[in-house]
Structure 1
């Protein structure tokens, strides 16, 4: 006997939006990742080969619901991010729900190793935010970036050279960006896990074996297990599984 979860192809976008918003309340920090069966967060160095069209469908819908898309600078570079621009259908939905046309793009960079001339900063529909350390926020690179983005120091007062995850989250919430959608990468997710700030993990499981040295979805040190509960499991094209887990608090 074969027992499989419901097919995502049988669900409308409205159905999926209801599933992925159930139980979420602002402030809310959602993390979205893809992994292979053997635990790799990438194939040949990027996530592109993993997940397929249904993962992309959910990816777009999660951005649609977000106030801010949060990404570490290394992932922005590795995945070739451009400006944060949504599809027309997503913009129309946001307008109907009283939201700005596009979410804010927030980039985490302790070293400010970002190019102010990149398309991320020269072509966005909404001015991006760069979240950095208090020390870096006073640098000449910060001054250059401040012409194209809001540069926000997010350090604990006792550690001015580091980016504190809780301070970062609070800075976004204070700006009215309470529905936070994080897209990586592994080191940053490790920081969020250690700080116990992850409210939700939307995890796509690609039915493949990477078999190499790809990273896990999270990297770092956390003293405790963070228990999650399953909210749903859906089956996509090619037996991809799209799961949603909520933090047990």
Structure 2
């Protein structure tokens, strides 16, 4: 991770002002991406998204986001996971990206312990139909039990299979679908207030439309993908586009790493 000469710390750069381009340490990244301090009383959830986009707006190439990524992007990806209580992800992304359970990282062990967190974030899968392979390690052998967020009308046999595999099923909707606001509140009620979503585009679109997204961490990849790939968010529109404020902007090898917070 690099910075221009004389960059100011409030622009998301390493303090010091020595003008030397260098890789950020994990501790510096953790400080730069720290969650805001919760207000007194009942802690409110803070939901951030982490997505990658090509220059021409593609969120994926051949169905996966990895071809648009880079080493620095993966370090930020790991940092955001290292700070989160739970990672919220859509069922289709679990299938396409071949999700496994989150792992414990020694670099974040002390920080997580001091924050009262477990050794790794829980993965919270949003799925109405529960069309998931419950024999995968994500469900059978996670370090922290995987959560499945679904609606009250989810197929009972699949609910039973999820629970038998060791997943915790959380109802966050009265019908077949999941209510984004209820899902966020349900996680907060379980003590998971530092939330991270990694999409996919349909889930992110639902979260945006519901007005529950607090922060967007966006990697802009210096690549052109063309084709018909999805944008980072798709689904229902909002009546008026919501304005977010730039909190920090980092750069490495032409990749831009922006952090935007709701105003």
TM-score with structure 1 length normalisation?
A: 0.91
1:1-249 matched pairs, under 5 angstroms:
9-21=22-34, 23=36, 25=38, 26-136=44-154, 139-147=156-164, 148-155=166-173, 157=174, 160-222=175-237, 223-236=239-252, 238-248=253-263
User: Helix, strand or coil: the match of 2:33?
Assistant: helix
Confirm or deny: 8 A CA contact 2:162 2:169 kept in the other structure.
yes
Q: 1:218 Cα deviation (Å)? A: 0.3
Deviation string 1:66-116 (CA, Å, 9 cap, x unpaired) is 011110110011001112213332334323443211111110000101121
Distance 1:134 1:107 in 2: 15
Distance 2:54 2:114 in 1: 36
User: Helix, strand or coil: the match of 1:146?
Assistant: helix
Distance 1:64 1:144 in 2: 29
Describe the shift of the 1:142–1:220 C-alpha distance in structure 2 as closer, same or farther (beyond 3 A).
Answer: same
Gaps of 5+ in 2: 8-12, 15-20, 39-43
Q: 1:142 Cα deviation (Å)? A: 0.5
Confirm or deny: 8 A CA contact 1:70 1:107 kept in the other structure.
yes
Confirm or deny: 8 A CA contact 1:51 1:205 kept in the other structure.
no
Q: 1:42 Cα deviation (Å)? A: 0.8
Confirm or deny: 8 A CA contact 1:204 1:242 kept in the other structure.
yes
Distance 1:104 1:116 in 2: 16
Pairwise CA RMSD of aligned residues?
1.9
Confirm or deny: 8 A CA contact 1:51 1:206 kept in the other structure.
yes
Gaps of 5+ in 1: none
Confirm or deny: 8 A CA contact 2:35 2:194 kept in the other structure.
no
Distance 2:122 2:23 in 1: 31
Confirm or deny: 8 A CA contact 2:129 2:176 kept in the other structure.
no
TM-score with structure 2 length normalisation?
A: 0.86
